[in-house]
Amino acid sequence: MTAGQVAFGLLNLDKPAGPTSHDIVADVRRGARIRKVGHAGTLDPLATGVLVLCLGPATRLAEFVMNSPKVYIARVRFGVETDTYDAEGQIVRLTGTDISQTVVYEIAVAEPVPLPVSILIPLAELQAVLKTAQGANVEIEPSKGAVTLTATVAGQGIGRRVEPPNINDWPELAVPADTQPVEPGFLTGLRQALTFASPDDNRPLLKAAFLDVSAKSGHRIVATDSRRLSVFPCGILPLAESVIVPSTKFLNWTKLEGDTRIGASKGVFTLRCGPWVFTTKVVEGQYPRWSQVVPDYGKDATTLELSPEDVQLLIKTLPSMPGNEGSNGTFVLRLAPNAVRVCSRQDAQSPEAAIRLEKSVCNGTPVSVGLDRRFFRDALLAGFDRWQVRDSTSPLVGHTKNDAQSCHVLMPVRCVNVEDEPASEGAVTPQVAVPVSVPVQPQETKEKPIMPPKNHEEVQPAAEPGALDKILVAYETAKSAVRQAQSALADVALCVRDAIREQKAQSREIAEVRAGLAKLQTIRV
């Protein structure tokens, strides 16, 4: 084209992925030396296909071309999220699940992922490669019918070829709930609470943390194993109702760092922390009325304020004191003004070993109370160093120096004639330890828990676990059996689905064979 010539018409170009429609127009304008160049419709940079360009006076026809019918073919990949919400994003995901709980780790990669794919990698194979890598980078390269995991160690590539399972066998996971930010101390409080939850799988209500949002003044994280109960404040949680979050090793993982967000919806609890996303089904049922278990002694109590030095002393020495192997690892805490002692003995015939807490302060009526040393030590590790008790059979109520709203209730181990033991130095009568359970009750009962009597002379001898405890255990056992039955039915449904899928595949193979035979019959020799 020479100078002075006027270009007129429409130019159809097959736009590749990458350049914008404006970039194409600029290139044509420079290459053809035409001032007036426009496009009849915009294609995104990732889109490919016909881009209609109008040259010279034909630019007036652009509106008519744009109104003509067009066909767009899109390729969409569900279940993949990137930071740019398109295929050029820099986020890939690792997902692990046991159906009821799901953990997702979002990985920022250096290069874009133009064609994201989903593959299944056996966890054992990935763990073996990560162990070999010893902190080095691991490359995951999918290929037809296999996945290659390569770790570079000392400049040497160590590869492992894995045949992944069928991606169609991946179960449908619960959709994570929308999350909102929480206060920085939420995750710490949740971990601390879960250390006091029950380890019994047959009691799922107690093997969990209760996120109580019923109070308007402040929400609480609660956990109990029926012999101790801990309450931690957590500010105002972004939850419409209280939920019961099951205990899991992931939540106790101390390497979880970053801004924390939570949410709950349709029986699913979601926690986001940094690149991690944790989703779990909440525990169904009514949590025990924990607030009725916490006594309010007021001024009618003996108080103990442990010094930091004595706290560290108890944490260090309690496990090594005599009698830790038997009698449930109990000890006796003897409280009196200016005389705080921790006592234990190997057996009834052994002398008593005692540690005097010189720097701790005690006020009130002298009292001796038997405790489980492991439970008491756990409370000390959680920061509870302010204690109240009324008599030898009443619960100990603990608080922290820095947070008065935190609370820990520890049931005593009733010892024969403990209340009659002197607080002074000297030999003591051998003790007989009997464990006591926290009187937690299901919410559906209308009876209030039995609170400790104000006068220790009215205390009845220790008894076996009551009928309410037995009912609660039976109730939890029945619920566990129902859940197991539901899980078995789900497995049956999966087997039925696989059988139907296999039958359809066989039907397709038979149809293909018949079609081949039909073609062979048409061949004339």
What is d(CA 206, CA 194) in angstroms, rounded to the nearest whole number? Answer: 10
pLDDT band of residue 123 (cuts 50, 70, 90) is: confident
Q: How far is CA 258 from CA 219, 222, 343, in A?
A: 22, 23, 44
Max distance between CA atoms of the chain, in angstroms, equals 119
pLDDT tens-place string over residues 358-386: 999 999 999 999 999 999 999 999 999 99
Range 91-169: architecture per CATH: Roll (3.10)
Q: Domain ranges in the chain?
A: 9-66, 91-169, 186-287, 300-463, 465-525
pLDDT tens-place string over residues 214-254: 988 889 999 999 999 999 999 899 999 999 999 998 888 87
Catalytic residue among 23, 44, 83, 98: 44
Please, what is the angle between helix 373-381 and helix 308-317, to 10°? 140
Catalytic: 44? yes
Which residues fall within 8 angstroms of residue 418, CB to CB, at 6 or more apart? 332, 368, 369, 370, 392, 431
pLDDT tens-place string over residues 246-273: 999 888 887 888 889 999 998 999 999 9
The sign of the dihedral angle between the CA atoms of 307, 311, 316, 320 is positive
| Cross-strand partners of 49 | 15
Domains 91-169 and 300-463 agree in fold: yes
The pair of three-digit structure tokens given for residue 111, joined into one six-digit string: 């290069």
- Of 94-103, 278-287, 308-317, 438-447, least confident by mean pLDDT is 438-447
Q: What is the pLDDT of residue 245?
A: 95
Range 300-463: architecture per CATH: Roll (3.10)
Region 25-46 average pLDDT:
81
What is d(CA 63, CA 391) in angstroms, rounded to the nearest whole number? Answer: 90
State the CATH class of domain 186-287: alpha beta
